[in-house]
Amino acid sequence: MSKLILTRHGQSVWNAENRFTGWVDVDLSEKGVEEAEKSGELIKKLNIKIDISYTSFLKRAIKTLTTILKKNKLDLKFNTAWQLNERHYGSLTGLNKDETKKKIGEEQFKKYRRSWDISPPPMSENSKYLSNFSPLNGSIPTGMTPFTESLKNTYERVIPFYEKEIKKNLSNSKNILVSAHGNSLRALCKFLFNISDEKINELEIPTGNPLVIEFENNLEIKKFFYLDKARKKNIIFNQ
């Protein structure tokens, strides 16, 4: 039996400012650092061996992962993958969410933020935010870097990576830790929990609260639970 632990990074500086972050490489806030440390403490209480760790190219997820690994006195070796990056918010990047909702209206705002297959307008090729992307993005294959994404687009890069890299290790009874982002984890949970296109907009992933998924040997899900019960969110399963 293997375990997959999914952790959204701790609160970032732009989370605290209520801004669309996407691929901008912002750091953790003070609260985010505390959430990462608590995640590490909660995982330590599981008293299990973490065999392999994965994270994105973004420092908020990397710092959350390294904090967890240090708390558990584990080797700081881990795997980074651009496929686990946050959803690219296109021209919404950097904008305040409340101000954007007032400007474009609640209905359009909800479509951009929570719909399955609607992308915001693309980021311009001369956007000032491009210089704030992770330097690791330079290794992304030519033509693969998006200028905007829907959740569906995010799913289309996350799931092939899961199938190719993570699933084989789960099949070998390895315990896997993934530190990633709200939307890359929503995409993965959509796949794992068989959530419909219509229901996925209801799934929220809290920052800094590890979600443990236990698998049977055939990779059927046996059970799942958040480690911080006070901050858990509902998990939609087969809906």
Task: Assign 45 a pLDDT band (cuts: 50, 70, 90).
Answer: very high
Is 30 one of the annotated active-site residues of the chain?
no
When pLDDT is cut at 50, 70 and 90, the band that residue 61 belongs to is very high
Q: Rg for the chain (alpha carbons), in Å?
A: 17
Please tell me the predicted confidence (pLDDT) of residue 190.
Answer: 97
Q: Summarize the confidence of residues 63-81 as an average pLDDT.
A: 94
Do strands 211-215 and 221-226 pair parallel, antiparallel, or not at all (unpaired)?
antiparallel
Residue 237: predicted pLDDT: 78
Among residues 58, 59, 47, 67, the alpha carbon closest in space to that of 3 is found at 47
What kind of fold does domain 2-231 have according to CATH? Rossmann fold (3.40.50)
State the pLDDT at residue 87. Answer: 98
Residue 239 confidence (pLDDT)? 60
**Strands 221-226 and 52-55, sheet pairing:** unpaired
> What average pLDDT score do residues 35-45 get?
96
Q: Using CA atoms, how far apart are residues 138 and 131, in angstroms rounded to an integer?
A: 12
Q: At what angle do helices 182-192 and 151-161 cross, to 10 degrees?
A: 70
Active site residue 88: no
Instruction: Provide the b/e sequence for 201-235 (b: ≥16 CB within 10 Å).
Output: bebebbbbbbbbbebeeeeeeeebebbbeeeeeeb
Which residues lie below 8 Å from residue 107, measured CB to CB, with a gap of 6+?
none
For the cut 80, the answer to whether the pLDDT of residue 238 exceeds it is no
pLDDT in tens, 186-200: 999 999 999 999 999
Question: 165: Cβ–Cβ under 8 A, 6 or more apart, which residues?
Answer: 54, 79, 81
Reply yes or no on whether the pLDDT at 33 is more than 80: yes
| Domain boundaries defined on the chain | 2-231
- Nearest Cα to 7, choosing from 47, 35, 44, 45? 35
pTM of the model: 0.95
Exactly one of 35, 86, 88, 149 is catalytic; name it.
86
